[in-house]
Chain A
Amino acid sequence: MSRWTRLLIGLAAALAAGWIAHGPLGRGEAYIGQVEARASAEVAKAAIAGVAVRMARDPLSRAALLSGPANDFQRRGIGELPGLDERVGAVAGVSSVRWDGQIGGLPLLAETLVLVALAYLIGVGLGWVFFRPKREGFL
């Protein structure tokens, strides 16, 4: 079996582990739930009646979706006064802020799998450091 085949088999195993954690084990949903709770608390602090925030769930994404009656000042702020966009965008875990009807945002699964692939490659690098054949003898 060639080295590339072994590398790809390992990558497939790592990605499968990442997908299982994200989907069947519910880590992705739990993460988005946590971020949504923080974003909702931030919107509640702004005390603008009728405005709500939810996270994109189809597919799961770190994009915050704001809805409700807010004027331009309330949305974007002015000068040093931050608007809802900036306040929600500053919440840890939120990657982008959108208003009603706008869609988009990188799926959380894609972000998770990129991180898993990076961790896997770091692991392969460590494997190379510790398990590569050593040169025998000095001469």
Chain B
Amino acid sequence: MVLIIFPICNHWAHGDVMNNKTIRLIDTFALAGVCFSLIEAFYYQLIRGELPCAFCNLIRVAFMLFGAGLLLNLRFGTNRWNYVLSAAGALIGALISLLFMFAKAPPSTTPTGSAIFGLHMYTWSFIIFMGAIMYCVVLLALFDNRGGEAKIYARMPRLASLMAVLFVVLTGGNLLSAFLQNGFGTFRAGGQQHYEMLYNGDVMKP
């Protein structure tokens, strides 16, 4: 977090743009944050046994959409449209999280999943997506576009390559998880106990 915020504040204070190398480093840390969020979701799913509901799965894809723009920046060079893609993904994720929060607002409803520091995961994801939208806005302001057209990098930096591969692996993991959990059916509501493709005896709430 400090590694992302400090250089941004420093350039903002000077009203300056950043060079592409600095921006790529910040994008790498942001992609690491996306990977951390997806790993944390798998921790609650695989270790704590809390299977994701429909909105939870869709929020995960929204995290991937936010990470998509960052991944394309790292692979093909920083481009404004990639930040637009990331911001759109973050906006979609924020709206799903907000819908989830409203759906769980009535006192008669039961929360889905564990609370972290008193807030449930859909509330945390809303906060994170709001930060992600601001991230895209600020990076667009700091991005120096005078470098010309985007280019394909022959070699990505080692840390960026690691994060890119981890991101793809986590995306594949989510695909496998969604298939095992729901098979060829629709996403289920919260409270699912078993994977549909491994055991289909769950009695789901309506």
Q: Do A and B bind each other?
A: no
